[in-house]
Amino acid sequence: MRLRNSFFLSLVAGCVASVPSLASPVTFGQGLEQTAGQNFSLVDTGSGVTLTGTSQIYFVFSNINGTLPAALSGPLSATLTLNLSSNSTDVLNASAGTISEGGFTGTFSITLNTPVGGQTNLLSGTITSAANATLTGKDGGTGASLSASTPPSGSVTYSSAFVQFTGSQTEAFSLALSSVVPSFVDNGSGFLAGFAAAGSLTFSSDPGPSVGPVATPEPISMLLLVFGLTLVGAFGYRLRRVY
């Protein structure tokens, strides 16, 4: 009896082990300004703010599932265009000495300066209000960061001519701003005051993007689990008949 139970447990454990655990978000792309200029600017519109940027950057793909074309390896010269806006009032956290403004929505695009295979869309994306994109920094400081992520599904969406995001459970975007001039403060009307800054970008997703058709192992793993449990049942039935 103990031998039979041990066999059942081992077989079930093997089947369950074949089901992959949830992956962790991976950084798949980064962008850095080529000249570190103050090419990002925040403008007070009177009823909110806009955060825009047009900059020549070096973009690097990493942690991609599959093999990218050789022409896409290493730092790639590209043009970044960013256009976000918010009409949410800012919030001062006096105890932490920080100030933040949320509700940013909009789009960004990173296009190759030299096409590869006739394509230029390295990475582009849309950020909706559901992403709760928030710009935060030290009150009166010279640095800040904006971040946005899923879930909920669709609040941050990516597209690219070279990689696919089918099956992504999370997608996240982060913009780090430095050399903020003038300082990062409230404008006196409930919104952030205008400034210019340099910036760098980081992109992640779970799972990471893939080159070519995207594999979907989960349904296959579930079939293996069901098949394994069926074998357990059949074997147990035969043992009961024997004993």
Q: Which residues, other chains included, contact 150 with Cβ-Cβ below 8 Å and sequence gap of 6+?
A: 131, 156, 168, 169, 170, 171, 172
In this structure, of 16-20, 41-45, 226-230, the range with the lowest mean pLDDT score is 16-20
The answer to whether 165 touches 204, Cβ cutoff 8 Å, is no
End-to-end CA distance of the chain: 10
Asked if the peptide bond before residue 115 counts as cis, ω within 30 degrees of 0, the response is no
Instruction: Report whether pLDDT(139) > 90.
Output: yes
Find which of 65-69, 143-147, 168-172 is predicted with most confidence, using mean pLDDT: 143-147
Write out the E strands in 9-97.
26-33, 40-44, 49-61, 76-86, 91-93
pLDDT tens across 70-99, in order? 999 999 999 999 999 999 999 999 999 999
Confirm if 62 and 27 have CB atoms less than 8 A apart.
yes
Task: Residue count of the chain, please give it.
Answer: 243
Give the three-state DSSP class for 10: helix
Residue type, 82: L
Q: Tokens 């960004």 label which residue?
A: 108
pLDDT surpassing 90 at residue 169: no
Q: How confident is the model at residue 232 (pLDDT cuts 50, 70, 90)?
A: very low
pTM: 0.76
**pLDDT tier at 153 (50, 70, 90 boundaries)?**
confident
